[in-house]
Structure 1
Amino acid sequence: MSAAALEAKNQGNAAFSAGNYEEAVKHFTTAIGHDAGNHVLYSNRSAAYASLKNYQQALEDANQTVKIKPDWAKGYSRKGLALHYLGDLRGAIQSYEQGLKLEPTNQLLLDGLRDVKDALESESMGASDPTKMFQNMFSGDVFTKLKMNPKTAAYLNQPDYVNMINMMKANPSSIQMYLSDPRIMASLGVLMGIPMDFAQAPDAEPMETEAPPKPQEKPAEKQPEKPPASEEEKLSDEYKEKGNAAYKAKKFDEAIDLYTKSFEANNKNITALTNRAAVLVEQSKFDEAIADCEKAIEVGRANYADYKLIAKAFQRIGNVHTKTKKYDEAVEAYKKSLTEDRTPQTLDLLRKAEKLSEEKAKNDYVNPELSTQAKERGNDHFRNQRYPESIQEYTEAIKRNPKDHTLYSNRAASYTKLGEYNYALKDCEECIKIKPDFPKVYSRKGTAHYFMKEYEKALDAYDKGMKLDPSNSEMEEGTKRVMEAIQRQRSSRTPEEIRQEAMKNPEIVAILQDPVMNQILQDMQADPKAIENHLKNPMINAKFQKLVNAGIVQMG
C-alpha cells in the first residue's frame, strides 16, 4: 500500500471510530483511488456505507472485496450484512456460510448467520404467500400418496401432469407456476390431507354466439366399491374398539391384551400396533412402544397402508423420545412423519422438540469454571487489541455460564471496538436483563448509541448509569461528548429543521401531546421561572429534559 493510500485509510478509520461515517467514506474513497486493488479498503468503505444505512453501496463494495480476496472471511461478513438489510435473506445466509467455510469460529459470521436465520423463520411464519406453505410438501413418496386417492390416481395417466409433479419435486419453488391448474390444487389438497373442492372447478369455456347442441349425457362411471370387510377384519376392528374403551377407562393391561388380539386377527391392521404403543407409553415401557411403532411402519409399507397411519407411527415414536428427553431422536422422528403427512400438529411438535434439544445442549454445556477461564483469555485479547479473538472467547464464556452479566458487557465493549454497534447494544440489553443495577453496562450502551448518532438514547443510557454511580467519570465524559455532538449538529440547522427531526421520535410526540406537559410549556412562556416548581416532580423533570435534549425547548 502506498504512503498516500495508507494515510487516507488511517484517516478513514479515525473518522469511522468517531462516528463520522460520511467523512470515513470520503477518506476510504481517496485511499481506493491510490490503491484500487486493496480488498481492505473496499471492506472498510462497505462498513461505513452500512453504518449510513446505504446498504446497496455497502453490497457493491463487499462484492468487490470478495472478488479481490475470495479467501478472506471478513468480506463475506460485509456482504452478508448488506444482503440481510436489503431483504435477500437466503443470499445473506449463503454469504455467511461461505465465510464460515474459511473461518468456522468467526463470531461475527456466526452472529450474522444466526440473525438472518431468525429473520427468515419469522418471515416464513408470518408469510401470506401460499407457495411457502407448500415448499416442503413434495418430499417423500409423493406418487404413492397421489395413487391412493381415486381422483389424483386418474391424473397419473396424464403425461403433462406427471411432468409437473416431477418439476415440483425437483424445484418446490416452481409450485407458483402451476397453481392455476385445478389438478395441482386438488393434488395439494391430497398431500396436505385437507379437501380442496374449490380446485375442481371446470375449465372456462369460450363464449358461444349460438347455444351449442346439448350433448348426449353419458352415464356416470361407477367408482369401484370397497370390498366388504372380511371376518378377520371385522373381528380385528371389534377387538380394537374394545381396546379403545379399556384404554379410556385406564385399564391398561386389558387394553394391551385386546390390541394384541386385534393385530393377531388381522396382521395388516397397524392401528392396533400404534394404539398398543400408546398404552405402553402410559406404562413407561418406552422401548416396547417404539418397537410397536417401528413394526407398524414396516407392516404398513409392505401392505401399502394409508400414509397417514405411517405418519402417525413416526409421530408416536417422536412423542416417546420427547417424553424420555431424547430430543435429537424426537426431531428425526417428527421429520420422517412430516415427509409422510405434513400436518400442523406434527410441525408444532417438531419445533418444540428442536427448541428443547437446543436448550438441553446449552444446559449440558454449562461449566462456570471453564467460563471463567475463557473470560480471562478474552480479557487478555481485549487488552492487546485482538478484538475478534476476545469476542470468540467471551462467546465461549457465555455458553459456559449464560447467567454471568459481566460477559455480555465485556463482549459489548469488543463489538464496539469493531464498529459492530447493533451487536454491542444487544449484549448491553442482555446484561441489563440479568443485572439492571450494573452501572458499567449503561456506559457501554451510551457509547454504542453515540457512535450510531442516536444521541437521545445515548443520554438516556448515561443518565440511568449515573443514577447508579453518580461519580462515574467515564459516563460524565460520555454525557459531555454527546451534548457537544448535539450542539454541533444543531448549529448547522434551522429551528424548524431541528423541530422536524425531533418530531420523528415517537417519545417526543407523546410528550408534546400530554395535556399536563402542554400546560406547563404554556406557563413557561408566560413566566419562565414557573418551570422551577414543576421540575421538582421527577417524571415531569425527565420529560422536560427530553424536550431540551431534542431541541424543542431552548434554555438560556
Structure 2
Amino acid sequence: MDVKSKTVEEWVEIGDSAYKSGDLDQAIEAYKSAIEVNSRASFAHFKCGTALSDKGNFQDAIVYFNNAILLNTEFAFAYFKRGVALLELNQYKRAIDDFNSAIKYNPDFSYAYYRKGLALFRLSKFEEALENLTKSIEINPDYMLAYFYRASTHFELENYNQSLQDYSKALSLNPRYEKSYISRGLVHSKLKQFREALADFNAAVTLNPQSIIARNYRGMIYLYLKNFKSALDDFNTIIELEPNNGNFYNNRGIAYFGLREYELALENYDRALLLITNSSQIYVNRGNSNIKLGNYIDAIIDFDKAIELDSSSAQAYFGRGNTYIHLNQFKEALSDLSKALMISPNFINALIARANVFFKLKAYDRAIEELTKAIDIKPDYARSYLNRALVFRKIEKYHLAAQDFEQFLKIYKKKDGISNKIRGWLIKSGYSSDNI
C-alpha cells in the first residue's frame, strides 16, 4: 500500500484503533506511516513513542518523544512521557528535568508531580518527594498510587503514623492492591503492632496466595510471636514456590529450631549455606543447632566461620562462648562472652552466660554483679532474677534469694515444674508471698 494514499489523521486513527485493541506492533507501524506522510506531525511522534514505551522499548520511545518536543517545545505530555521512559531506565535526574518541564507547561499536571515524587524517592530525597506527592494529591485526591508512595516516603522519614494513614487511604481507594497491605503490615511491625501486621499480611496472602513476599513477612511475624507451626507452614509454601533461595531455608530452620526439631533445623541451615556461602548469621544459627544436638566441635567450627565472615557479630562470640561452657573451657568462654559484650554491652544473655561461668568458678560476687547489670538493663526479664536467686541461695543469703525468686514468679506467671519447685522452696523456707 502506498503510505501516502492516506492522510496523517487517517494513519493516526488506524494506529489508535490498533493501540486500543492491544496490537502495539500494528499501532507503531501505523504511527510510523503517519510520520512518513508528515514528519512534522508532533502528535504522531508522541503516539509512536507511547506505544514503544508500552512495549518496554524505552530507548526507541525516547527518540520519538525527542522529535515530538523538537516540533512542539511546549508539549507537556511529551515531556512527561519521556520522563517516564527515563524513569524506567533509572535516569532519575534527567527524568526530573522532564517532569519539571511538563509541570511548567501544565501546572496542574497531577501525574507529573507524582512521577517527579517517585524519582526523588528513588534518589532518597524524601523531603522533596513528599512535597511533590502531596501536590499530586492536592490536584487529584483520588490517585491511589500517590498515597501509596507518600506513605512509603513517610516510612523512610520515620513518620510512621502518617505512613499508616496514607496506606489506609490507598486501600480505601483500591482495597485489592496487595502492596498496600504488605507495606502497611511493615509499618505495624516497625511499631511492634504485630497483631495488626499479621492481619495485613493475611489480607495480602488472601489476595495472592502465591505472594512470596507476603508469606515471608507473615512467617517472620509468626516467628516473633513464637507461633512456629504457622511460620513453618508459610516457609514450606514459599520453598515450594521458590526452592533456590537460601534465606527461606534459613527462616524454615529457625521455625524448626523453635519447635525443638534441631536435626531438621540443621538440615535447613545446611541447605541455606549451599545457596548462601557468606552469611555469618546462618553459621550462627547452625552453630546454635549443633549446641542443642551436643555437637560441640561442629558448633565451634560454625562460630569460627561466622566470626571470620563478620568479626563484629556479638551473637557469634556469644554462641562460641556458650559452647565453651558446655566443654568446661571457662577461660575461653569468658574471653568470648567478654568480646560479645564489648560489641553489644546490653546483650542480656551474654551477661547471664558470663555470670554462669563465674558461678561455676565460684566467683559468686562477680556472678551477682553480672546479673545485677542484666536486671538494670532489662528489669522485666525473669531469667536474670532466677539466676541471681540461685547465686544468693548458694552463698546462703536466703532472704535475698527469696526476694529474687518472688520477683521471678511475678514476671514468669507460668505454673510449671520450675515455678512449682521455687514455690515449694519458699514455703519450706518460711517465706510467704502474694506471688506464691
Common fold: TM-score over 0.5: no
TM-score by length of 1: 0.27
TM-score by length of 2: 0.33
Looking at both structures, which has the greater relative contact order when contacts are Cα pairs under 8 Å and sequence separation is at least 6? 1
Answer with 1 or 2: which has the greater Rg: 1
